[in-house]
Amino acid sequence: MTDQQAVAVDVVIFGGGVAGLWLLARLRKANYNAILVESDTLGTGQTRYAQGIIHGGTKYALTGKLTASSEAVFQMPGIWRDCLQGHGEVDLQEASVLSPHQFMWSTTSFTSRMAGFFASHVMRSRTESLPAKERPLIFQNSKFKGHVYRLDEPVLDTATIIAALAKPHLDAILQATLESVTFNPDASSQLALKATDGSRWQVATNRIVLAAGQGNAGLLKTMGRDSPAMQLRPLHMVMLRGGLPERLYAHCLGASVNPRITITSHSDTFGEIVWYLGGQLSEDGVKRNEAEQIQAAKDELHDLMPWLDLSQTHWSTLRIDRAEPSQPHSKRPDTSFVDETTGVITTWPTKMALAPKLAADVMEQLQHNEVVASGTEPLPAWPQPAFAELPWQEETRWN
């Protein structure tokens, strides 16, 4: 191998999470000669911390009306299901469905019951009130006095999504870091990349797409740019395992758009059930240390499920940052974000479920600017990244 090799492509994508890999699959299917660059492992960062929920907007309708957020994601579950069945825009047949649906439960409080009423009526095609015998076992307890709704929104295993998206296109994925970029007057550019084996690559491309989440800020800085600006939404998630009665995928309704608590279930390295807790608990928990956040989670579960025995449970927390386009007053973005400035398309999906929309918007932008698909060609052999491990499978987190 020479010290430096050159390659020319139509599009270079930075970021090997769900958004970047979904876009890579779409572009190559459309005959674009596209490659993806990831400096770490595939699925690292935001993707591996995701709960795997393919939102369809129900939780954003809890105030009694369809919001911009609920309308933006309404079509997403259907798009993802088509892909899981093998007749969608990308092939996700190898991905694992943790649950074909989720549950939403209300407590006896007035605000919780009203949130359930609004969501079930505004999103009538997605929700169904369940009789006691059809509820998860944990809500069949005689002490439970609320209502349970089934949501027609799946929960997926994020690691298998990454594998399903990446494996057909591994030849087009390079593990490397960006050293510099030279832009041409026609918005094309030359990138200097350093691969993990020390080899250097000069890549000529017609467009650059940034889909690296929090890493977008550093990539823009390397390019001498400071916009689009990014904001971070911190979360303090909780994990628990040991003595859990069943796998659960559910949101507890509260007084706001955000559920009081969101529970998804996963498996650790021994196959034991892990509950992963998000929702308002994770947002409020940013101000707490680990011990305080664990105690808050215990208190919340005791309040919501006082019959649940957690005496044999082990606990852990993890802090994550959700990267988003900067908004006035740090408001939560309503939908995915795509912006092009002089040959660089910066993107943030804002939530995993919106990866298909983000890819469609990028492709529309390429076509609008007449970036022509030149056809896929054999690519050189280069270092490829490994796949990220999911946090609940890292035993050091439980110690």
Q: What is the pLDDT of residues 45-73, one digit of tens each?
A: 999 999 999 988 665 555 555 555 556 67
End residue of a domain, out of 324, 346, 367:
324
Q: Print the domain residue range for 270.
A: 56-155+233-324
What's the domain count of the chain?
A: 2
pLDDT, mean of residues 301-309: 96
CB environment 16-30: b (16+ within 10 A), e (fewer): bbbbbbbbbbbbbee
pLDDT, mean of residues 29-34: 98
Residue 358 has pLDDT above 50, yes or no: yes
Residue 231 has pLDDT above 60, yes or no: yes
For the chain, percent of residues with pLDDT exceeding 90: 82
The pTM (predicted TM-score) of the whole model is 0.93
3-state secondary structure at position 360: helix
Q: Please answer whether residues 10 and 205 qualify as being in contact, where contact means their C-beta atoms are separated by less than 8 angstroms.
A: yes
Residues 185, 257, single domain; the answer is no
End residue of a domain, out of 291, 324, 357:
324
Contacts of 224 (CB under 8 A, 6+ apart): none
The pLDDT value recorded for residue 67 is 54
Residues 238, 142, single domain; the answer is yes
Nearest by Cα to 72 from 376, 358, 273: 358
The pLDDT value recorded for residue 253 is 86
Residues 241, 318, single domain; the answer is yes
Residues 194, 249, single domain; the answer is no
Residues 29, 97, single domain; the answer is no
Nearest by Cα to 103 from 60, 62, 136, 76: 136
The pLDDT value recorded for residue 185 is 95
Residues 63, 109, single domain; the answer is yes
End residue of a domain, out of 324, 354, 384:
324
Residues 148, 65, single domain; the answer is yes
Residue 113 has pLDDT above 50, yes or no: no
